[in-house]
Amino acid sequence: MAKEVVEVLVTGGKATAGPPLGPAIGPLGVNVMQVVNEINKRTKEYEGMQVPVKVIVDTEKRTFEIEVGIPPTSALIKKELGIETAAHEPRHEVVGNLTMEQVIKIAKMKFDSMLSYTLKNAAKEVIGTCGSMGVTVEGKDPKEVTKEINEGKYDELFKKYENKE
């Protein structure tokens, strides 16, 4: 069975038959517009964000599968805050504030591609990214919030979300 894998970064919901997708998939014998439409349907929720997409084409059967990756944590944070760019001087400039609920929402989206084994650690990874972007959490410096998590301040909230898996 001959399988070709094409990996591309597309803008969520806005893939086109032009480069990089069309030229990579066209020669593989599948309908490029079907692939594009499927990608757009599956990446709609990441509109305006760069999304890693894997197109797996069976060149004998002329069929395809699509695997949609998750955008980078920084892109998810920007989308959650509705901002275009992070701070130019992250430790001196604040561009937004996330609630702990928003941090957990992002951590759950990214969980499968993170190195963390628990939602609590995944949230700390997200908070670390906030720190390098000039984003506060619960109105506080991200380092302070990480310390509070370590002290157990948000344990009830994590329990609530871990049970919703």
Tens of pLDDT along 2-19? Answer: 899 999 999 999 999 998
Q: Where are the domains of the chain?
A: 3-68, 73-162
Q: pLDDT at residue 165 above 80?
A: no
Is 70 exceeded by the pLDDT of residue 1? no
State the DSSP code for 85: S
Give me the residue label for tokens 């919030």.
145
Over the stretch 102-156, which tens digit does the pLDDT of each residue have? 999 999 999 988 888 999 999 999 999 999 999 999 999 999 999 999 999 999 9
Quote the CA–CA distance of 42 and 107 in Å, as a whole number: 20
Question: What is the SS3 assignment for 110?
Answer: helix
Q: Are strands 96-98 and 135-137 parallel, antiparallel or unpaired?
A: parallel
What is the fold of 73-162? Answer: Arc Repressor Mutant, subunit A (1.10.10)
Q: Per-residue pLDDT tens for 44-86?
A: 988 888 899 999 999 999 999 999 998 989 999 999 999 988 9
Q: Which segments within 87-145 are labelled E, that is strand?
A: 96-98, 135-137
**Domain 3-68: CATH class, spelled out:** alpha beta
* pLDDT value of residue 164: 61
What average pLDDT does the segment 22-37 reach? 94
SS3 107: helix
Averaged pLDDT for residues 86-90: 89
- Give residue 94's pLDDT: 94
Q: CA-based angle 95:131:150, to the nearest 5?
A: 130
- 128 SS3 class: helix
* CA angle at 96 for the pair 44 and 100, rounded to the nearest 5°: 80
Question: Angle formed by the axes of helices 100-110 and 155-162, to 10°?
Answer: 40
pLDDT for res 45: 86
In this prediction, residue 157 carries a pLDDT of: 93
